[in-house]
Structure 1
Amino acid sequence: MDRLRLTKRGLLRRLVQLNACLAILPLAVHAQQETTESEDIEEVVVTGSFIRNSAFAQNSPVDTVSQSDLFESGAPSMSNYIRDMTYTQNTDVVSNVLATQDGSQDSVGASFNLRGLGENSTLTLVDGIRTIAASVSTSVPEIAIERLELVLDGGSALYGSDAVAGVVNIIPMKEFEGFRTRTFYQRTQDGAMEDMNLSAMWGKSFDNDVSYVGAFEARTKTPLMQYERPREWMMDDGSSVSGSPGTWRQNVGADPNINLYQSHGGTLEGSLLVDPACGTFNDGYPGHGQGKFPTPSGVPVGSFCRFEYTSMFAYSAESTDYNAYNTLTWEASDWLRFNATLNNAYRVSSLRTTSTTAVNGNNRAALIVRADHPANPWGFDVSPYTWRPIAHSYTHLPQHLDPGDGAREYEFHTSVNRLKVGAEYDISDSWVGYTYYSKQEMKSMSDSYSVHLGKLQLALEGQGGPNGNEYWNPFGTSDPRHPNFDPALGNSEELTNWIFERDANFVTSRDYLDIFETVATGDVVDLWAGTVQMALGYQWRDLEENNYANPFDAAGWDYNTVIGAPLPKDERFFSETRAIFAEFQIPLLETVDLQVAGRHEEFTDFGLETTTPKVALRWEALPSLAVRASWGESFLAPTPSQARPFVQGENCGEIFDGQDPFTGQQLTGGAQCSSGNPALGPETSEIRNFGFTWEPSGQLDGLSLSMDYQEIEYTDRIRSLTEEDTVAFQFQQFVAETGVSAGSYDPTPGSATRQQADAWLRQYSQNPSAPVVRDEDGNVQFVYRQDTNISSVWVDLFDVKARYTLNTNDWGTFAATLQSTYYETYEYEGLFGGRQPALGLQNADTGIVPPLPQYKANLRVNWFRDNQSASIAVNYWDNVEFDAVAIDRYGDGWTAPDTIEGEARTDVRYAIILDDYLNSEFTVSVGVNNIFNERPQQLPISGGFESRLSTPWGRQFWMSVEWLPGF
Structure 2
Amino acid sequence: MAKNRFVASTALTGLLGLGLIAIAPVGAAHAQQTPDQGDRDTTLEVEEIVVTGSYIQRRSDVSQASPITSIGIADLNNIGAADIADLTQTLTINTGSQNNPDAFTQNFSTGTSNINLRGLGVSSTLVLLNGRRQVVSGAATDNGVNFVDTASLVPLIAIERLEILKDGAATLYGADAVAGVANFLTRDGFEGLEVRGEFQTIADTGSSSDARIEVLGGVQMDRGYAIAAVSYLDRTPLTMQEKRLSPLFGPDLSSIGDPGTYLPLGQIPLDVSLADVYTQFAGIPTAEGTPLEAIRAGLSAAGELPAFADPACGSTPNSQAPGAVPALGLPAGVVGICQFDFGEFYNLVPEESRLQGFAKAGYDITDNLSFFAEFGFARNRAERGNTPTFPILTAQLIGGETGPTGLPAHPSNPFGVDLISLFRPIGTGEAVNSTHDSDTYRFSGGFDWRINDTWRLNTSVTAATNEFRVSVQDTLRNEMAFALAGLGGENCDPLTGTPGEGPCFFFDPFGPGQASPLNTEEVLDYVIDRNRLDFDSDLLVVDAVIAGDLGDRLALPGGPIGVAVGGQYRGERYGLDADTNSNNGNFLFASGAGTAVPDFRGERDTYAVFGEVRLPATDWMEVNASVRYEDIQGVGDSVDPKVGVLIMPHDDLSLRGTFSTSFRAPSIFQQETGGFVALAQLRDPLVGNTAFLAEFTTGNPDLNPEDSRQFNVGATYQPGAVPGLSLSLDYWNFDFDDKITKENAQALLDEAERQAAQVGNPTPLLNPDRFVRPALQFGLPLLSQVNTQFVNAPSIETAGLDFSASYQFDTAIGTFRPSFEGTLITKYDITDPTLGVIDGKGNRNFTNVGNPTPPLRFNLGLNWTQGAHAFNVYGRYIDGFDDDQASPTAEPGPDGRVPENGVVSDIFTVDLQYTLQVNQLFDLDESLVFSAGAINVAGTEPPFVNTNGGYESRVHDPRGRVVYVRLTASF
Whole-Å Cα distance in 1 between the matches of residues 662 and 172 of structure 2? 10
Which secondary structure does the structure 1 equivalent of 2:630 belong to?
Answer: strand
Q: CA deviation at 1:714?
A: 1.5
1:717 aligns with 2:739: yes
1:527 aligns with 2:556: yes
1:579 aligns with 2:608: yes
1:323 aligns with 2:356: yes
* Runs (5+) with no aligned partner, structure 2: 1-16, 29-43, 137-147, 269-301, 327-334, 491-501
Aligned pair partner of 1:787 in 782, 790, 798: 790
Q: Is the 8 A contact 2:312 2:511 kept in 1?
A: no
Which secondary structure does the structure 1 equivalent of 2:746 belong to?
Answer: helix
Which secondary structure does the structure 2 equivalent of 1:718 belong to?
Answer: strand
Higher mean Cα deviation, 28-37 or 104-113? Answer: 28-37
Q: CA deviation at 1:113?
A: 0.4
Q: CA deviation at 1:439?
A: 0.7
Aligned position for 1:177: 191
Which secondary structure does the structure 2 equivalent of 1:120 belong to?
Answer: coil
1:680 aligns with 2:716: no
Q: Is the 8 A contact 1:660 1:667 kept in 2?
A: yes
The percentage of counterpart residues that share the same residue type is 25
Higher mean Cα deviation, 520-529 or 226-235? Answer: 226-235
Whole-Å Cα distance in 2 between the matches of residues 138 and 41 of structure 1? 32
Aligned position for 2:145: none
Whole-Å Cα distance in 1 between the matches of residues 732 and 866 of structure 2? 39
Which secondary structure does the structure 1 equivalent of 2:682 belong to?
Answer: coil
Judged with a 3 Å threshold, the aligned counterparts in structure 2 of structure 1 residues 198 and 432 are, in CA distance, closer, same or farther, namely same
Q: CA deviation at 1:247?
A: 2.8
User: Which residues in structure 2 correspond to 1:93-104 (within 5 Å)?
Assistant: 93-98=99-104, 100=105
Q: Is the 8 A contact 1:124 1:130 kept in 2?
A: yes
Higher mean Cα deviation, 195-204 or 518-527? Answer: 518-527
Q: CA deviation at 1:618?
A: 0.5
Q: How many residues align?
A: 857
Cα deviation digits, residues 141-184 of structure 1 (max 9, x gap) = 00000111101111101101111111110111212111001011
Aligned position for 1:21: none
User: Which residues in structure 2 correspond to 1:51-70 (within 5 Å)?
Assistant: 51-54=56-59, 55-70=61-76
Aligned position for 2:262: 248
Aligned position for 1:263: none
Aligned pair partner of 1:338 in 371, 378, 384: 371
Q: CA deviation at 1:613?
A: 0.9
Whole-Å Cα distance in 1 between the matches of residues 18 and 472 of structure 2? 48
* Runs (5+) with no aligned partner, structure 1: 1-27, 255-268, 286-292, 393-402, 481-486, 741-752
Higher mean Cα deviation, 886-895 or 713-722? Answer: 886-895
Aligned position for 1:198: 213
Q: Is the 8 A contact 2:743 2:834 kept in 1?
A: no
Which secondary structure does the structure 2 equivalent of 1:657 belong to?
Answer: strand
TM-score scaled to structure 1, two decimals? 0.83
Judged with a 3 Å threshold, the aligned counterparts in structure 2 of structure 1 residues 379 and 371 are, in CA distance, closer, same or farther, namely farther
One-letter amino acid matched to 1:937: P
Q: CA deviation at 1:252?
A: 7.0
Judged with a 3 Å threshold, the aligned counterparts in structure 2 of structure 1 residues 419 and 559 are, in CA distance, closer, same or farther, namely same
Judged with a 3 Å threshold, the aligned counterparts in structure 2 of structure 1 residues 945 and 410 are, in CA distance, closer, same or farther, namely closer
Cα deviation digits, residues 762-804 of structure 1 (max 9, x gap) = 6x55xxx446667365553431011111242212211012221
Judged with a 3 Å threshold, the aligned counterparts in structure 2 of structure 1 residues 372 and 111 are, in CA distance, closer, same or farther, namely same
Cα deviation digits, residues 816-838 of structure 1 (max 9, x gap) = 22111112222111135653212
Q: Is the 8 A contact 1:92 1:105 kept in 2?
A: no
Aligned position for 1:22: none
1:590 aligns with 2:619: yes
Aligned position for 2:466: 442
Aligned position for 1:959: 965
1:313 aligns with 2:318: no
Q: Is the 8 A contact 1:49 1:158 kept in 2?
A: yes
Cα deviation digits, residues 617-675 of structure 1 (max 9, x gap) = 00111123211010011111001121116x5xx43465x522233x2612537542121
Whole-Å Cα distance in 1 between the matches of residues 591 and 101 of structure 2? 27
Aligned position for 2:151: 137
One-letter amino acid matched to 1:843: N
Whole-Å Cα distance in 2 between the matches of residues 33 and 270 of structure 1? 82
Whole-Å Cα distance in 2 between the matches of residues 240 and 887 of structure 1? 18
Higher mean Cα deviation, 581-590 or 470-479? Answer: 470-479
Whole-Å Cα distance in 2 between the matches of residues 908 and 639 of structure 1? 42
One-letter amino acid matched to 2:543: E
One-letter amino acid matched to 2:434: Y
1:803 aligns with 2:786: no
One-letter amino acid matched to 1:626: S
Judged with a 3 Å threshold, the aligned counterparts in structure 2 of structure 1 residues 83 and 272 are, in CA distance, closer, same or farther, namely farther
User: Which residues in structure 2 correspond to 1:122-133 (within 5 Å)?
Assistant: 122-133=125-136
User: Which residues in structure 2 correspond to 1:376-775 (within 5 Å)?
Assistant: 376-384=413-421, 386-392=422-428, 403=429, 406-465=430-489, 468-476=503-511, 478=513, 480=515, 490-502=518-530, 508-524=534-550, 525-554=554-583, 557-560=586-589, 567-604=596-633, 606-644=634-672, 650-652=675-677, 656-661=680-685, 663=686, 665-668=688-691, 671-698=694-721, 700-734=722-756, 739=758, 753=760, 756-758=761-763, 764-765=767-768, 769-770=769-770, 775=776
Aligned position for 1:908: 912
Judged with a 3 Å threshold, the aligned counterparts in structure 2 of structure 1 residues 91 and 564 are, in CA distance, closer, same or farther, namely closer
Whole-Å Cα distance in 2 between the matches of residues 137 and 168 of structure 1? 14
Judged with a 3 Å threshold, the aligned counterparts in structure 2 of structure 1 residues 561 and 446 are, in CA distance, closer, same or farther, namely closer
Judged with a 3 Å threshold, the aligned counterparts in structure 2 of structure 1 residues 243 and 912 are, in CA distance, closer, same or farther, namely same
Which secondary structure does the structure 2 equivalent of 1:780 belong to?
Answer: coil
Q: CA deviation at 1:535?
A: 0.5
1:163 aligns with 2:163: no
Q: Is the 8 A contact 1:235 1:938 kept in 2?
A: no
One-letter amino acid matched to 1:590: D
Q: CA deviation at 1:602?
A: 0.5
Q: Is the 8 A contact 1:249 1:270 kept in 2?
A: no
Whole-Å Cα distance in 2 between the matches of residues 271 and 200 of structure 1? 71
Cα deviation digits, residues 198-225 of structure 1 (max 9, x gap) = 1000011124x13110000111221111
Whole-Å Cα distance in 2 between the matches of residues 563 and 936 of structure 1? 32
Q: Is the 8 A contact 2:260 2:313 kept in 1?
A: no
Q: CA deviation at 1:128?
A: 0.6
Which secondary structure does the structure 2 equivalent of 1:642 belong to?
Answer: helix
Q: CA deviation at 1:507?
A: 6.4
Judged with a 3 Å threshold, the aligned counterparts in structure 2 of structure 1 residues 243 and 137 are, in CA distance, closer, same or farther, namely same
Judged with a 3 Å threshold, the aligned counterparts in structure 2 of structure 1 residues 427 and 685 are, in CA distance, closer, same or farther, namely same
Aligned position for 1:880: 881
Aligned pair partner of 1:920 in 921, 926, 946: 926
Aligned position for 1:357: 390
Aligned position for 1:930: 936
Whole-Å Cα distance in 2 between the matches of residues 408 and 634 of structure 1? 45
Cα deviation digits, residues 584-633 of structure 1 (max 9, x gap) = 111222211111111111112x1411111111000111123211010011
Q: CA deviation at 1:117?
A: 1.1
TM-score scaled to structure 2, two decimals? 0.82
Which secondary structure does the structure 2 equivalent of 1:476 belong to?
Answer: coil
One-letter amino acid matched to 1:715: D
1:45 aligns with 2:68: no
Q: CA deviation at 1:378?
A: 2.7
User: Which residues in structure 2 correspond to 1:85-100 (within 5 Å)?
Assistant: 85-98=91-104, 100=105
Judged with a 3 Å threshold, the aligned counterparts in structure 2 of structure 1 residues 546 and 366 are, in CA distance, closer, same or farther, namely farther
One-letter amino acid matched to 1:415: D
Which secondary structure does the structure 2 equivalent of 1:349 belong to?
Answer: strand
Whole-Å Cα distance in 1 between the matches of residues 653 and 24 of structure 2? 23
Judged with a 3 Å threshold, the aligned counterparts in structure 2 of structure 1 residues 501 and 594 are, in CA distance, closer, same or farther, namely same
